[in-house]
A and B are shown apart, each in its own frame.
Chain A
Amino acid sequence: MAMPRPRIGVVTYPGSQDDRDALWALAALDAEAVPVWHEKRDLSRLDAVVLPGGFSYGDYLRCGAIARFSPATAAVCEFAEAGGLVLGICNGFQILCEAGLLPGALLRNETLRFVCRDARLRVERNLLPFTSRCTAGQLLVIPVKHGDGRYVPPPGLDPAQVVLRYVDNPNGSIDGIAGVCNEAGNVMGLMPHPEHAVDPLLGSDHGALILASLVDSARRHALAAA
């Protein structure tokens, strides 16, 4: 029997930039990548959702603060509350924090400079739907490109929710936190861009480990639903 290609949605907000790279990367990793316009309210036919990087709604007020009120974000909240897999990358991570699906907030980089370079990351938690292809403690090289990536956790954040940590903290994140998940483990956000690191021609293919883990997990969801 042929393995089903899981349907993974990528939301496009006004101001999203990396939605097409995310669609391309997911398709390259054998998912059916589905563009989701920000006015869409129904995600019921999807096996996972990705919120991409960019500057949704101009990032006015605070990064991700306005995108939180879009119809697609409301649908993503319902999808996540029902146990659906949601991955937020960069601006997508900021939106998930503003929407309360992930703990913490992302503030202006400590240096006040936009940082755009490869970042070395350590996998702190590898048994998640987003990291199952990684080993615990594995070092990944995935690019970051952001001006507002300094992660501030809420008081008393469970260390088990820290999924990725920077080896050389590029933005002043507290405890070098680069990616976190929710308590249930079905929602994850990270500032680095795995969708820009799926082909060795572009310097690193370590991002494919994250996205292929998501595709594996979404495929299991598709099989269970079939």
Chain B
Amino acid sequence: MRATVLVRPKPGILDPQGEAVGSALGHLGFEVRDARVGKVIDFEVDATNAADAKAKVERMCEQLLANPLIESYEIEVTA
């Protein structure tokens, strides 16, 4: 199954990259607020069904893909 993990800086964690991107968008004339920069991790995972895949990816997030002190994550699983 195809898994997509979305990792974001947690609320309250200063994100200077997000601020720089927000400011650059402002220079282009786009009015944006609270820009945040995270990362996307995509991969294939062997699993019997979506719930199994999600449980596996959850463990990957906790052990490696996100640092729970500073990052939150969202998991999406598709067949």
The answer to whether A104 and B14 touch across the interface, beta carbons within 8 angstroms, is no
The answer to whether B64 and A112 touch across the interface, beta carbons within 8 angstroms, is no
Q: Which residues of chain B in 37-55 are interfacial with respect to chain A, using CB atoms and an 8 Å cutoff? A: none
Q: Known: A105-B70, A107-B70, A112-B20. Contact between A61 and B14, CB under 8 A?
A: no
The answer to whether B16 and A62 touch across the interface, beta carbons within 8 angstroms, is no
> In the assembly, what is the distance between CA of A62 and CA of B13, in Å?
15
Is the CB of B77 closer than 8 A to any CB of chain A? no
Binding site for B on A (CB under 8 A): 61-62, 65, 98, 104-105, 107-112, 150, 152, 154, 172
Query: Nearest residue in B to A62 (C-beta to C-beta)?
Result: B67
Q: Taking the nearest CB of chain B, how far is it from the CB of A32, in angstroms?
A: 35
- Interface-centre pick from B13, B14, B17, B65 (highest chain A CB count, 10 A): B14
The answer to whether A112 and B69 touch across the interface, beta carbons within 8 angstroms, is no
Residues in B with CB closer than 8 Å to A152 are 13, 69-70
Binding site for A on B (CB under 8 A): 13-14, 16-17, 20, 64-65, 67, 69-70
- Interface-centre pick from A98, A107, A152 (highest chain B CB count, 10 A): A107
Interface of A is mostly: loop
The answer to whether B69 and A65 touch across the interface, beta carbons within 8 angstroms, is no
> In the assembly, what is the distance between CA of A107 and CA of B17, in Å?
11
The answer to whether B16 and A154 touch across the interface, beta carbons within 8 angstroms, is no
> In the assembly, what is the distance between CA of A110 and CA of B65, in Å?
23
Q: Known: A110-B14, A152-B13, A172-B14. Contact between A104 and B69, CB under 8 A?
A: yes
The answer to whether A112 and B14 touch across the interface, beta carbons within 8 angstroms, is no
The answer to whether A61 and B65 touch across the interface, beta carbons within 8 angstroms, is yes
Pick the contact of B13: A98, A107, A112 (CB < 8 A). Answer: A107
> In the assembly, what is the distance between CA of A111 and CA of B14, in Å?
11
Query: Nearest residue in A to B19 (C-beta to C-beta)?
Result: A112
> In the assembly, what is the distance between CA of A152 and CA of B67, in Å?
12
Query: Nearest residue in B to A107 (C-beta to C-beta)?
Result: B70
Residues in B with CB closer than 8 Å to A107 are 13-14, 70
Query: Nearest residue in B to A64 (C-beta to C-beta)?
Result: B67
Question: Given A65-B67, A105-B67, A109-B16, list of 13 further CB < 8 A pairs?
Answer: A65-B64, A104-B69, A105-B70, A108-B16, A110-B14, A110-B16, A111-B16, A112-B17, A112-B20, A152-B70, A154-B69, A172-B14, A172-B16
Pick the contact of A61: B13, B64, B69, B70 (CB < 8 A). Answer: B64
> In the assembly, what is the distance between CA of A158 and CA of B65, in Å?
27
